[in-house]
Amino acid sequence: MKKVNFESLDPSIQELLKKAEKVRNHSYSPYSQFKVGASVLTEDNEIFAGCNVENATFTSICAERTAYVKAISEGKTKFKAVAVVGFQENFVVAPCGTCRQFMSEFGNVEIYMAKPNLDEIKVSTLDVLLPCQFHFH
């Protein structure tokens, strides 16, 4: 993970981060109070944004997976970058292991992880965040 500056980023990545920040408002997280927004940039430069949706019995779906299934259900399966934005001031959210596994099904992507106001951003890749991936094929 390395730190990057918002202004230095490609406009498409800036937009990706802003959409992740905005969709966070729709987070349904009455159990954890932990609001997260995420967005995914497709190979053909569309952005799909999703929030976490919790469940009383903890079969919740994280923001990253929401963004992915939104994109996939619109026919997209090739992705370039993901942004994740949390809600807590002192905290850069990284995708959980379940999301890393889920995303890995669709290939490597850059992953931008930001503090709530996008004033601290770290970047890595899925292959770095999930080494030695488990795949059937």
Q: Is 51 annotated as a binding residue?
A: no
Q: Name the region of 79 (left: φ>0; alpha: ψ -120 to 50; beta: rest).
A: beta
64 is a catalytic site residue: yes
Strand partners, 54: none
Provide, rounded to whole angstroms, the least separation between the CB of residue 110 and a copy of itself. Answer: 14
Strand partners, 61: 53
Catalytic residue (one of 64, 89, 105, 110): 64
Q: Is 96 annotated as a binding residue?
A: yes
State the residues that interact with Zn ion by CB under 5 A.
62, 96, 99
Q: Is 62 annotated as a binding residue?
A: yes
Strand partners, 121: 4, 114
Question: Residue 62 or residue 71: which is nearer to Zn ion going by CB?
Answer: 62
Question: Residue 62 or residue 123: which is nearer to Zn ion going by CB?
Answer: 62
Residue with tokens 């099904």: 105
Q: What is the dihedral of CA 4, 114, 93, 68, to 10 degrees?
A: -100
State the residues that interact with a copy of itself by CB under 8 A.
1, 23, 25-26, 28, 31-32, 34, 49-51, 53-62, 65-70, 72-75, 77, 93-102, 104-105, 124, 128-137
Q: CA-CA distance, 11 to 38, in Å (whole number)?
A: 17
Residue nearest to Zn ion (CB): 62
- What is the separation of C-alpha 10 from the centre of its chain, rounded to a whole number of angstroms? 17
Residue 11 interacts, among Zn ion, a copy of itself, none and using kind-specific CB cut-offs from 5 to 8 Å, with none
Instruction: Give catalytic residues, as residue numbers.
Output: 64
